Structure 1
Amino acid sequence: DGVLCPSGTFNSLGRKTDSDAFCAPCGVAGHGQFFGETDCDTSDQKSILEKIYYDLRGGQWEVNDGWVTADSVCDWFGVTCTDDREFVIGITLEDNGMKGAVPKDIFSLPRLESLKLKKNDIEFSFDGIGSAVYLHTLSLSETSLTRLDGIGMAKDSLKYLHLTNNNLGQIPDEIYQLTNLEDLYMNYNEISSSLSTKIGLLTNLKNLFLFHNKITGSLPTELGNLKNLKVLALGENYLSGEIPTELNRLTNIEIIALQREAGETAPGIGGPLEPKSDIEIGKGFTGLLPPFDGLPKIRELYLGSNSLHGEIPNEFLSSADKSAVIKVDLTMNDLEGEFPDFLKEFGQMKMYAAGNRFNGMAQSLCSKDNWMGGEVSVSGCNAILCPPGTFNIYGRAASAETPCEDCPYTYEADFYGSIECLPTHTETYSDKEVLQLFYEATGGAHL
């Protein structure tokens, strides 16, 4: 290569001069037929794009400005070219009314780097994707994809893969061949298998989004290998078992979302709550609440609607930035004990913890005015958890207009953060005690 670039490749000098000035493949069969080529014939780029236009009913697209009419493909809507306007490097035609089968010739564009076809009614095959040696970004969310056969051939180039809201049903092994991936989005895909231990091979991942599927089983400990991970979004699945301690090795993590699927009426984080049911969706994660004490960059932690038990550990989020806004969802678990004093070290915590079995509240938290988005300055500790004997649908005073309410007569709420009051067991009460309850419930003391 240092003498002449091989047939089928090119370089502006016709030969390789260093590691950055290598002989690049032309990408299209028949181009760069000779040794020492300084460019590739790019006339076929136009014919490839024309085929895309006609095969995908370009005349009916939402926007098709310039397509097949402008002389240069670089002037066609959604097409991006190199600065010298010689090569097509990007196609962005998201939500553009495309219909039909995307021709596999698209992968023959010699310098294609980014292909974004999200939200179109298209059929897509990965046959030939290995020819697109520069392709780093592929966005095919909301395109009704059902298979990913052949995607493994993009293992040397692909970094950003968006496949949200399709019908994939599973994560094929070929995904784990894409070891250069930094972003993987496969939310809303009806994935019903367990998460393979091979996930640990994707060590370059920064963002892993698999929420709102039907993924079962326990979390593989190999997730701890993903040292570059910033977002781990596995919420709203059917996962179970204990949360692996290996997650504490994710020192770059900022968001962990492991909240359990809670049915069709699942609330948003911090929203109104309903008693959970384990009949259809299982118990979720069990075991003790991990301390997550090795995560200095953590900002959001979502663990709601699981079956975690025990007390909040003293080391909970101990390495996190105490001055940062940190959001934690522990709602609807089986946690108990006192809502602890050490949490006062956090200056701007948003801690949602209703629906547990807390029997005490550290009073030092009642003056943390910047907690709960400032609501503690208005409602004190009630903004964190409603006290025993009171309730509301949030389990806390979410605002001045939604205070904690007293339980009605013959009903009780034994714990902090109750979202409902349960009937009082009065069968063991004496007649005098029953009358006393009646007296208090009907305001007799204020007459």
Structure 2
Amino acid sequence: MKKPLHLSLFIVYFQIILHSCMSGVEAPDANPNKQALLSFKSTVSDPQNALRGWNSSSSHCTWFGVTCTRNRTTVQSLHLPGLGLSGIIPPHLFNLTSLQVLDLSNNSFQSQIPAGLSHCYNLREINLRRNQLVGSLPSQLGHLSRLKFMDVYANNLSGVIPPTFVNLTSLTYLSLGRNNFHGEIPKELGNLRNLVLLQLSENQFSGQIPNSLYNISSLSLLSLTQNDLVGKLPTDMGLALPNLMQLLLAENRFEGLIPNSLNNASQIQVLDLTSNLFQGSIPFLGNMNKLIMLNLGWNKLSSTTELNLQVFNSLTNCTLLESLTLDSNKLAGDLPSSVANLSAHLQHFCIESNLFTGKLPRGIDKLQSLISLTMQQNLFTGELPHSIGRLNKLQRISVHENMFSGEIPNIFGNLTQLFMLTLGYNQFSGRIPVSIGECHQLNTLGLAGNRLNGSIPREICSLSGLSELRLAKNALHGSLPIEIGSLKQLSLLDVSDNQLSGNIPETIGACLSLQTLSVARNEIMGSIPDKVGKLVALESMDLSSNNLSGPIPEDLGSLNVLQSLNLSFNDLEGQVPRSGVFMNLSWDSLQGNDMLCGSDQEVAGKLRLHTCSTKKKQSKHFGLTISIAVLGFSLLMCVIFYSIWALVSRRRKKKGTKESFFSRPFKGFPEKMSYFEIRLATNSFAAENLIGEGGFGSVYKGAFRTGEDGVGSTLAIKVLDLQQSKASESFYAECEALRNIRHRNLVKVVTSCSSIDHSGGEFKALVMEFMSNGSLHNWLYPEDSQSRSSLSLIQRLNIAIDVASAMDYLHHDCDPPVVHCDLKPGNVLLDDDMAAHVGDFGLARFLSQNPSQSESSTIGLKGSIGYIAPEYGLGGKASTNGDVYSYGILLLEIFTARKPTDEVFQQGLNQKKYALAVEANQVSGIVDPRLFSHTGSSELCSPFVSSSGNSKHSSTSNTISIGPNKSEECLTAIIRVGLFCADHSPNERLTMRETLTKLQEIKKFLLELWGSSSLPLSSIITL
């Protein structure tokens, strides 16, 4: 039966209407955008449960962080910053083809940036900053032609900037800072003409800034700090970038002049050129009237008083200036009065580490917004202006290491926000102002190295937040205030080198944060308070050269972090504790305390003390009886020995035995000489006989008669300057070190003299064999280059081997091993045959064979700047590794003729540069050019160390082989050995035995090469 026509039409119409209605309703879980977001949720870790509302029962457009388009079906924005999300960025996001904004910043995603993000072709913004992303930037991102904002700052990304980024012509914001990108900055970035911000700081970019970047006239921020960029800035830079608001180029290697054209960049608010190599004068910057921060520190900028006037006059136009930093340059001359007319908004004024002179200008109190005033390490003179006391917002005043004089003004009552006050190492006199006690926020007070007198004000002890109190090297007297215990936050207290008296107050035991305590070289008396042993944070304590008495508190041995302790030159008594810091304590930390004793023979021997007596005290009568008996026995023995000596003398005379000028030897040495004999030999220490001066005395040439036949002998006499505080200690150390050691490359000590001079003063000297060719220092740095020929390559190598041989003997063949501690060219002497001999053992140390006591302290070890191992500066222990470091520096110096204190090292020519020169086969640029004047066709050498590996632990891949440029290859081998010895890490250094072997191998190859026309390339020696 047919349906009526009108009924059929009605059914069709109803189906159309129903389908039309249903088409606007989303079927459950059918939307691909929703599926992509649910997959995203299932993949990431969500510790804050921020995505808990993401479920299939609700519309994804209502979910947290999700924004949809108007039709409420497709996702337009995913905004999920700072939620602690982690894991990988899932590929499901690629299905969000309508996505315009992706913000996953400040999370912990650890994956690579997925290349599939390029499928989201509508993206305008990608913000992934502050995650843990790795890998490189996908080149496919360069296809996002609509992208305007990209930020991946502070991740672990690496690689280069993809060339495809040139296609991101809509980009206005590009931040790639704080990653590990490297290579050159692509010049194609200059095509991104819409860029407003370019942030590439804290990476490893190298090369020059491409000129094309200066064509981006819209750029308002250019940040390239902390890279390895070089070159000069273009002279028209300020004209090319008229809209620039921030120029950040700090910590690179830019050089040349700062362009004058920067003055035309009138929109600049922040200009930071810190830590580069800019030189010349500071240009006129007066047109930068929007400038807020100017930082030109750590360059090589220079000035005069006239130039200072121009600079500061121009800066008075910068009325918004808040921070002015010109530290660590070469600016000189007086500061003009226009300094007082700088911006009223100025908060930070820093000109430290320059060469400014004269008095501080008047009117500085006009800078009422000033928070920080740092002028230390200049040459300022005169008094500190009272007007500074009116700058009541000041938090820091640092003017130490100048030449200020007069009294410190009592102006601090108004500076209630002051956090740091350092006035040390000037010429201030008078008393410490009591108004400092009103600076209740004060954390650091430094007044050391002045001429202050009077007592320490008790008001200072009311500064409850004080952490560092430095009052050393003044003329303070009185006692330490008993209120010192109120300083609960005090971590450093240094009052050494004053005239303080009284006792160490018991209340110091309440300073539980104290890490460093020094009251050395005062007149402190009484006992060491037991409560000092309760200072659990104490790391270093120096109580030396006082009048302290009584026992050493046993609890000091229980302080776990105490590493440095000096109790020398007091009147302490009793048994030395055996635990903690005392386990590794050396004699020099306890010397000058005659009443101290060791608990057993081993401890007493190590510390040069007598062993503590365990017997009970006898009666006075019994003790007197014993004393008389001992005295009588001693007199009897003296008579017997004198009789025997007289008899032997008479028999010698009868036999006609000739006696030399020196008496009989003792353990290989003749008996001690007299002062008269030495004075006669040196012609009363005449200036023409002076051949050298050192840290503890002078060395003279002396002509001695050695027998009745009148035959003369020339010797060297080292006369100790006993005015030096440790000269006597050096004398005894050298005698002890040389008593039993014998080696052909050590300076031989003939005898010693410990006597009284013609004026009745103490006299000490060492008599040594004379070295006719003087010291190695004089050969490397002759005062008159025409007076002495330079050392050839083979001579230098022989000297290096001689020194290495001596050090190998000291370290490996002596029992106990000896550490020299002062190896340098001045202590290497050359004999008639140019053989090298190591001398001056005044700082030598013995190493115990006991593993727990294998090294002695280096606290107070002077040594020579540049040759001291880095670990010694941090209070490390004396070790053979320290000598190896000194030898490495010496070896580099022998072949480069550059002192470690040479000014070129301040310009970046350091061991790292040596290593880079070796790697690049450019060693000719660092060695002594005089070497090549000796290197002709008859003096070619070929061994060199390959560049693979950088420590002795990778030695299996380091070889000496033969190359085309013979001289440079040989020198490269030697320089590399020096670098291995001078490695910063003690454990990475060679031993002296390994060093000697390698230098001998180099010499062997050198001699073989000279003896033959060629060597096979297969000849290798493993380094």
Q: Normalization by structure 2: what TM-score?
A: 0.32
- Contact 1:45 1:88 (8 Å CA) reproduced: yes
**2:134 aligned to which of 114, 136, 145:** 145
Worse-matched range after superposition: 190-199 or 116-125: 116-125
Name the CA distance, whole Å, in 1 between partners of 2:329 and 2:92: 57
Name the CA distance, whole Å, in 1 between partners of 2:53 and 2:299: 57
1:360-399 equivalences in 2 (<5 Å): 360=333, 361-368=335-342, 370=344, 372-373=346-347, 376-377=364-365, 383=373, 388-390=378-380, 399=394
Name the CA distance, whole Å, in 2 between partners of 1:239 and 1:420: 38
Corresponding residue pairs, total:
353
**Which residue of the partner structure matches residue 208 of structure 1?**
198
Name the CA distance, whole Å, in 2 between partners of 1:50 and 1:210: 35
User: Pairwise CA RMSD of aligned residues?
Assistant: 3.8
Superposition deviation, residue 156 in structure 1: 1.2
Question: Which letter does structure 1 place at the counterpart of 2:296?
Answer: L
SS at structure 1 position matched to 2:121: coil
Q: Structure 1's 137 and 369: CA in aligned 2 closer, same or farther, altered over 3 A?
A: closer
Q: Normalization by structure 1: what TM-score?
A: 0.69
* Cα deviation digits, residues 117-143 of structure 1 (max 9, x gap): 232334345444343222111122314
Q: Structure 1's 133 and 246: CA in aligned 2 closer, same or farther, altered over 3 A?
A: farther
Question: Which letter does structure 2 place at the counterpart of 1:52?
Answer: F
- Contact 1:287 1:309 (8 Å CA) reproduced: yes
SS at structure 2 position matched to 1:216: strand
**Which residue of the partner structure matches residue 243 of structure 1?**
233
Name the CA distance, whole Å, in 1 between partners of 2:24 and 2:235: 54
Name the CA distance, whole Å, in 1 between partners of 2:337 and 2:184: 43
Superposition deviation, residue 115 in structure 1: 1.0
**Which residue of the partner structure matches residue 342 of structure 1?**
314
Question: Which letter does structure 2 place at the counterpart of 1:362?
Answer: P
**1:296 aligned to which of 242, 266, 273:** 266
Name the CA distance, whole Å, in 1 between partners of 2:124 and 2:164: 16
SS at structure 1 position matched to 2:292: strand
Q: Structure 1's 124 and 259: CA in aligned 2 closer, same or farther, altered over 3 A?
A: closer
Worse-matched range after superposition: 87-96 or 124-133: 124-133
Name the CA distance, whole Å, in 1 between partners of 2:59 and 2:25: 18
Question: Which letter does structure 2 place at the counterpart of 1:194?
Answer: E
SS at structure 2 position matched to 1:372: coil
**2:73 aligned to which of 77, 86, 103:** 86
* Cα deviation digits, residues 267-320 of structure 1 (max 9, x gap): xxxxxxxxxxxxxxxxx1110111202212110000111111111223x3x442
- Contact 2:275 2:299 (8 Å CA) reproduced: yes
Name the CA distance, whole Å, in 1 between partners of 2:337 and 2:291: 21
Structure 1 runs of 4+ with >6 Å offset: 37-42, 379-382, 419-423
**Which residue of the partner structure matches residue 281 of structure 1?**
none
**Which residue of the partner structure matches residue 325 of structure 2?**
352
Name the CA distance, whole Å, in 2 between partners of 1:390 and 1:83: 70
**Which residue of the partner structure matches residue 327 of structure 1?**
293
Q: Structure 1's 404 and 93: CA in aligned 2 closer, same or farther, altered over 3 A?
A: same
Name the CA distance, whole Å, in 2 between partners of 1:386 and 1:366: 19
**1:260 aligned to which of 248, 251, 255:** 251
Structure holding more helix per residue: 2
Superposition deviation, residue 187 in structure 1: 1.1
1:45-444 equivalences in 2 (<5 Å): 45-57=33-45, 62-118=49-105, 119-141=107-129, 142-169=131-158, 170-248=160-238, 249-260=240-251, 284-291=253-260, 292-314=262-284, 316=285, 318-320=286-288, 322=289, 324-337=290-303, 338-339=307-308, 340=311, 341-349=313-321, 350-360=323-333, 361-368=335-342, 370=344, 372-373=346-347, 376-377=364-365, 383=373, 388-390=378-380, 399=394, 401-405=396-400, 407=402, 442=451
Name the CA distance, whole Å, in 1 between partners of 2:189 and 2:195: 10
- Contact 1:347 1:370 (8 Å CA) reproduced: yes
- Contact 1:370 1:377 (8 Å CA) reproduced: no
Q: Which has the larger radius of gyration?
A: 2
Structure 2, unmatched stretches of 5+, are 1-22, 350-363, 382-387, 405-421, 427-449, 454-1023
- Contact 1:353 1:385 (8 Å CA) reproduced: no
Say which structure, 1 or 2, has more relative contact order (CA 8 Å, 6+ apart): 1
Name the CA distance, whole Å, in 2 between partners of 1:221 and 1:38: 56
Name the CA distance, whole Å, in 1 between partners of 2:139 and 2:259: 39
* Cα deviation digits, residues 30-88 of structure 1 (max 9, x gap): xxxxxxx9999982211121221223356x56411321244100122211122442321
- Contact 1:224 1:250 (8 Å CA) reproduced: yes
Question: Which letter does structure 2 place at the counterpart of 1:245?
Answer: T
Name the CA distance, whole Å, in 1 between partners of 2:115 and 2:451: 76
Q: Structure 1's 126 and 176: CA in aligned 2 closer, same or farther, altered over 3 A?
A: farther
- Contact 2:342 2:367 (8 Å CA) reproduced: no
* Cα deviation digits, residues 417-440 of structure 1 (max 9, x gap): xx99999xxxxxxxxxxxxxxxxx
Name the CA distance, whole Å, in 1 between partners of 2:169 and 2:278: 33
- Contact 1:372 1:384 (8 Å CA) reproduced: no
Structure 1, unmatched stretches of 5+, are 1-36, 262-283, 410-418, 424-440
Name the CA distance, whole Å, in 2 between partners of 1:443 and 1:74: 74
